[in-house]
């Protein structure tokens, strides 16, 4: 797959505040790329730069190898579905989707006006428009809804109209800024799958923005993790999950215990005063490191079976598994297990060598990975789901 879009050395600030700080990124043709990061990290700004709604302070944007940094939005082969998409309330489903085609003019074929530098254009015929609208209706599973008033549709159906409307002009790239944020969980899951299917069926490059890591992992070919206006990591969903580059990525992508340690030599890690075999190497002898251990990769064993021991301080039933908070020498770990153990029990923690993921120390070291203050309530507060309904608060606030 060739590089369709390239961002080179992009910086952008507002009122002296740096929002993007040296973004280098390329996006391949026909790829589903997700910009993932917490609120305020610069995702929407990056998208707006690609769409041409903002210009960078420094850096260039290439499209198919051409510099488009100063090209206005309507001249880019890019369409956008904003967080707050507005359908035309006075038009029915069919007309909402057909809207852009009714405006469109195409060259008149079979005339040699081109030779004189003048290309004659015409509007699309009723049949041409209908053929494309029908194709879009099928694509977003809205056949039979042509005559419906858009205001009578559910949130999910309105979302589909918005998607059809933005794809009808066959853009090379579709930019989507948290398009599902206003939908409830079940519908969001359905639409995630549908969007992915639509992307595959149309072969259009999707650049998707979300702060929801599960959404990013389940939909994308490539995930770009951002924080503080900087790209922290680019990779496939499995890379990002299994090989996080630093403590920020490890913490942001799923649950992680992140423990201080050091590497006496390759394939050996020391933490909590204990030495464990691991599968990572390439660190300086004695290098201090951050060690990630995912909660699902720890087995609960009897205390005599492991030198690493702890006391269970909390247990939550999660349906498929129990989630335990375990005090290991004052550091709180999270363990997910299908075994039930009473709170207050002393347990042994058994960890396979390949479950230790070793990372270099970074500016994020020591900030994440201890579950002392963990509660579901806190988690929900830092990850609010907007009320179901089309109007959440303005623009970019998640
Ligand atoms: N037009 C603007 N004027 C001033 N500040 C802005 C503007 N747009 C975005 N910002 C600021 O830039 C930062 C990044 O915003 P944004 O790209 O919207 O982040 P995200 O989409 O990741 O939540 C935020 O601190 C935001 O307040
Ligand atoms: Mg945003």
Q: How much distance in Å is there from the Cα of 151 to the middle of ligand 2?
A: 26
* Rounded-to-integer distance, Cα 279 and Cα 286, Å: 16
Strands (E), 214-297: 222-227, 230-235, 257-265, 268-271, 274-277, 287-293
Residue from 42, 181, 216, 224 to probe ligand 1 pocket by mutation (most atoms less than 8 Å from CB): 42
pLDDT of residue 93: 97
* Rounded-to-integer distance, Cα 342 and Cα 314, Å: 9
- Nearest-ligand number for the alpha carbon of 13: 1
43 lines ligand 1 (CB under 6 A): yes
- Nearest-ligand number for the alpha carbon of 176: 2
Token pair belonging to 332: 């709180």
What ranges do the domains of the chain cover?
A: 3-87+133-238, 257-367
Contact 12, 19 (CB under 8 A): yes
CATH topology of domain 3-87+133-238: Rossmann fold (3.40.50)
Q: Which residue's CA is the nearest one to ligand 1's atom 6?
A: 14
225 lines ligand 1 (CB under 6 A): no
The class of domain 257-367 in CATH terms is mainly beta
pLDDT of residue 391: 42
* Rounded-to-integer distance, Cα 292 and Cα 270, Å: 13
Token pair belonging to 352: 């396979």
**What are φ and ψ of residue 153, in 5° steps?**
-90, 155
pLDDT of residue 383: 52
pLDDT of residue 105: 87
Half-sphere exposure of 228 (CA within 13 A, CB side): 5
The secondary structure of residue 191, as a DSSP letter, is H
Q: Which residue's CA is the nearest one to ligand 1's atom 7?
A: 14
The secondary structure of residue 41, as a DSSP letter, is S
Q: What is the pTM of this model?
A: 0.88
3-87+133-238 and 257-367 have identical folds:
no
pLDDT of residue 347: 98
Residue from 7, 45, 382 to probe ligand 1 pocket by mutation (most atoms less than 8 Å from CB): 45
* Rounded-to-integer distance, Cα 209 and Cα 145, Å: 28
39 lines ligand 1 (CB under 6 A): yes
Q: Which residue's CA is the nearest one to ligand 1's atom 27?
A: 40
229 lines ligand 1 (CB under 6 A): no
Residues with CB under 5 A from ligand 2 (ion): 44, 396
**Which whole-number Å values give the CA distances from 316 to 13, 324, 338, 345, 377, in the listed order?**
43, 7, 11, 15, 13
Q: Counting atoms of ligand 1 from 1, which one is nearest the CA of 42?
A: 17
**What are φ and ψ of residue 46, in 5° steps?**
-60, -45
Question: What is the mean pLDDT, run by run of 10 residues, along the chain of 398 residues?
Answer: 93 96 97 96 97 97 96 92 83 95 86 65 94 95 95 90 92 94 88 93 96 95 97 97 95 94 97 96 96 97 97 95 96 96 97 97 92 66 47 40
Q: Counting atoms of ligand 1 from 1, which one is nearest the CA of 229?
A: 14
Q: How much distance in Å is there from the Cα of 217 to the middle of ligand 2?
A: 18
Half-sphere exposure of 355 (CA within 13 A, CB side): 16
Instruction: Find residue 25's DSSP bridge partners.
Output: 7
pLDDT of residue 2: 87
The secondary structure of residue 240, as a DSSP letter, is H
21 lines ligand 1 (CB under 6 A): no
pLDDT of residue 376: 59
210 lines ligand 1 (CB under 6 A): no
41 lines ligand 1 (CB under 6 A): yes
């Amino acid at each position: 797959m060739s590089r369709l879009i390239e961002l080179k050395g992009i910086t952008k600030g507002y009122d002296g505040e740096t929002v993007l700080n040296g973004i280098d990124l390329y996006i391949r043709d026909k790829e589903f790329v997700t910009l993932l990061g917490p609120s305020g990290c610069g995702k929407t700004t990056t998208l707006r730069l690609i769409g041409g709604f903002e210009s960078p302070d420094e850096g260039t944007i290439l499209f198919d190898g051409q510099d488009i940094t100063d090209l206005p939005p309507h001249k880019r082969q890019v369409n956008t579905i904003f967080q707050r998409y507005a359908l035309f309330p006075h038009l029915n489903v069919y007309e909402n989707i057909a809207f852009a085609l009714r405006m469109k003019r195409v060259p008149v074929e079979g005339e040699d006006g081109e030779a004189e530098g003048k290309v004659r254009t015409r509007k699309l015929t009723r049949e041409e428009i209908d053929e494309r609208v029908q194709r879009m209706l099928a694509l977003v599973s809205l056949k039979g809804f042509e005559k419906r008033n858009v205001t009578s549709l559910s949130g999910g159906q309105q979302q589909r109209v918005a998607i059809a409307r933005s794809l009808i002009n066959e853009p090379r790239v579709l930019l989507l800024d948290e398009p599902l944020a206003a939908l409830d969980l079940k519908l969001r899951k359905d639409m995630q799958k549908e969007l992915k299917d639509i992307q595959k069926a149309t072969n259009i490059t999707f650049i998707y923005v979300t702060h929801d890591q599960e959404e990013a992992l389940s939909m994308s070919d490539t995930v770009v993790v951002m924080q503080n206006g900087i790209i922290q990591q680019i990779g496939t969903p499995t890379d990002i999950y299994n090989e996080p580059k630093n403590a920020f990525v490890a913490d942001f992508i799923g649950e992680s215990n992140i423990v201080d340690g050091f590497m006496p030599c390759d394939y050996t890690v020391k933490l909590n005063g204990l030495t464990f075999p691991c599968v990572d190497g390439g660190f300086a002898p004695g290098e201090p490191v951050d060690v990630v251990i995912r909660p699902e990769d720890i087995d609960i064993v009897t205390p005599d079976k492991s030198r690493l021991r702890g006391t269970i301080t909390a247990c939550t039933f999660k349906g498929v598994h129990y989630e335990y908070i375990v005090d290991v020498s004052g550091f709180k770990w999270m363990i997910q297990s299908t075994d039930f153990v009473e709170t207050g029990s002393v347990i042994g923690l058994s960890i396979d060598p390949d479950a230790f993921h070793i990372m270099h120390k970074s500016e994020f070291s020591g900030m994440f990975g201890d579950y002392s203050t963990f509660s579901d309530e806190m988690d929900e507060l830092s990850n609010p789901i907007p009320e179901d309904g089309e109007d959440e608060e303005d623009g970019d606030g998640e």
